[in-house]
Amino acid sequence: MDIARRDLLLSAAALTVGASGIARAAPDRPLGYAIVGLGTYGLGVIIPQFANCTHSRLAAVVSGDPAKAQRVAAEHGLPARSVYSYANFDSIRDNPDVDIVYVCLPNSMHAEYTIRAAKAGKHVMCEKPMAVSVAECEAMIAACKRANRKLMIGYRCHFEPFNLEAMRLARSGAAGKIRYVRTEHGFTQGSPSAWRLKRALAGGGSLMDMGVYSLQAARYMTGEEPIAVTARESTDRRDPRFTEVEDMIEWTLEFPSGAIAGCQSMYSANQNHILLMGDKGRIELEPATRYDGNHMWTGRDGREREVTPPAGPAKTQFAGQLDHLAQCVRSGAEPIVSGEEGLRDMRIVEAIYRSAREGRTIRLDGRA
Ligand code: NAD
C-alpha cells in the first residue's frame, strides 16, 4: 500500500461521518476488547497496552484456566460476567461491553475463534499468522463479511515508527531505486514440547512464526506483490525440536520492478534484520521489528547516518494497532492490515512450502 493511501486511511479511520454527512470526532467511549488466550502475548504484551490506548479498553478475558482468568479480571476491574472459558465463549454475543475479540491463541485456533467471534457479532483482531492455510483465511474473511464485522491482523509493524520511517524513506527514493531486500527473523526455540514445534497447533515451523515478519517486510518495504518464489528448507531432523516442523527456511521473491528479496527465518538462532539496497544507497534496520529498541541507519556515498524516526501518533506500536481497529469500527473504514492482507501472505507461505518441497520456482502471478 502506498504511504499516501495509508495516511488517508489512518486519518479517515479517526473520524466518523454523522447523519449530516459531516465528519466529526469519534465518540469518547473507548471500544471494549475481549482477549482470547492469556499467554505470553495476550497477557504479557497486549493487556498492559490498554493503558497506552485512547480508543480501546480491556472489557473481557477468555481462557482455559479459570483461576488465571479470574485473577486477571480482578486486577483490571472486570466484572465476573466478563470472564469466559473456551466452552462458553459464544455467549460473549450477549455482552454489550465487548466490541472486538482479539485472538491470541496458537495458530491453528485462529480460524475457529475468529469465525465464532464474528458469529457472535463481534469485530476481530487476529494474531499473525492469520491461520494455517489459505482455505482457513478465506473462511475467516467470509465469516466476518457475512456478519458485517471488521477483521484485522495483528501486524504491529505497520504501526512501528522505525518501519514506517523506513517505508517512507524507501518510497521517497532516499536509497534510489530499491533493487534488493534482505531480511532475516528468528529466535532459538527451547523446549521440544512447545506448541510452536507441533505441526497440528503451529501449522509449520519458523516460517509460520518469524518468517511472517520477513515476508511482510519484503512486501511493505518494496510496496510490491511478488510474482515468483523459490525456496529451500534446511532442518536437522535429528534435533528433537524439529521432528515435526522446519527450522531454517530461505526464499527468494521476485517483484514486478525487477527487485529481489532474499528472506529467511529460523528457530535455531536469534536474528532480526531488514536491509534495503537501492541503486543510490541503503536503508538498514537491526534490530528491525522488535517490541522496542529498534535501530535504523541509512548509507549513501560511503557515509552512514543514524535515523531516529519521528514519534508516531500513538504511544506505542501496540496501542496504535489496537486503537486503529477501534477507530475503523467507529468510522466504517477498512483496517490497513485487513484479513485480505493476511490472506495474501498465506498464499505466499503456501507457495514457499511448495517450492521447498518440489525444488522449483513457483509463479505467483498465474503465469506458467
Ligand atoms: P503462548 O503459548 O504464550 O500462549 C498461548 C495461549 O493459548 C495460552 O494462554 C494457552 O493456554 C492458550 N491455549 C489454548 N489452547 C491451547 C493449546 N491447545 N495449546 C497451547 N496453548 C493453548 O503463545 P503466544 O506467544 O502468546 O502466541 C499466541 C499467538 O500470538 C500466536 O499466534 C503467535 O504467533 C502470536 N504472537 C504474536 C506476536 C506479535 O508480536 N505480533 C508475538 C508473540 C506471539
227 and 353, same domain (yes or no): yes
Mutate to test the pocket of ligand 1, among 62, 84, 104, 316 (most ligand atoms within 8 A of CB): 104
355 and 333, same domain (yes or no): no
The confidence score (pLDDT) of residue 312 equals 86
Amino acid at 299: G
> Is 121 a domain residue?
yes
136 and 41, same domain (yes or no): yes
Tell me the CATH number at 272. 3.30.360.10
147 and 190, same domain (yes or no): no
Pocket of ligand 1 (CB under 6 A): 37-42, 64, 104-107, 127-128, 154, 156, 195, 201, 209
Residue-by-residue pLDDT tens, the chain, 368 positions: 555 545 544 544 444 333 332 333 345 799 999 999 999 999 999 999 999 999 999 999 999 999 999 999 999 999 999 999 999 999 999 999 999 999 999 999 999 999 999 999 999 999 999 999 999 999 999 999 999 999 999 999 999 999 999 999 999 999 999 999 999 999 999 999 999 999 999 999 999 999 999 999 999 999 999 999 999 999 999 999 999 999 999 999 999 999 999 999 999 999 999 999 999 999 999 999 999 999 999 999 889 999 999 998 999 999 999 999 999 999 999 999 999 999 999 999 999 999 999 999 999 998 87
How remote is the CA of residue 257 from the centroid of ligand 1, in Å? 37
How remote is the CA of residue 288 from the centroid of ligand 1, in Å? 22
The confidence score (pLDDT) of residue 40 equals 98
116 and 226, same domain (yes or no): no
Q: Is 213 a catalytic residue?
A: yes
122 and 247, same domain (yes or no): no
How remote is the CA of residue 220 from the centroid of ligand 1, in Å? 25
329 and 352, same domain (yes or no): no
> Is 23 a domain residue?
yes
Letter string b/e over residues 93-115, b meaning 16 or more CB atoms within 10 A of that residue's CB: eebebbbbbbbbbbbbbbbbbbb
The confidence score (pLDDT) of residue 302 equals 87
C-alpha cell at 281: 544507497
The span from the CA of 307 to the CA of 301, in Å, is 16
Among 33, 84, 102, 213, which one carries the catalytic annotation? Answer: 213
The confidence score (pLDDT) of residue 10 equals 52
71 and 203, same domain (yes or no): no
17 and 71, same domain (yes or no): yes
Q: What is the model's pTM?
A: 0.94
Tell me the CATH number at 120. 3.40.50.720
147 and 268, same domain (yes or no): no
> Is 168 a domain residue?
no
DSSP 3-state of 269: coil
Q: Which of 216, 366, 183, 211 is nearest to 284 (CA)?
A: 183
Cα distance between the two ends of the chain? 27
Give the structural domain span for 14. Answer: 3-156+318-337
The confidence score (pLDDT) of residue 15 equals 40
Q: For the chain, how many structural domains are there in total? A: 2
> Is 289 a domain residue?
no
Tell me if 82 sits within 8 A of 73, measured CB to CB. yes
The span from the CA of 29 to the CA of 207, in Å, is 39
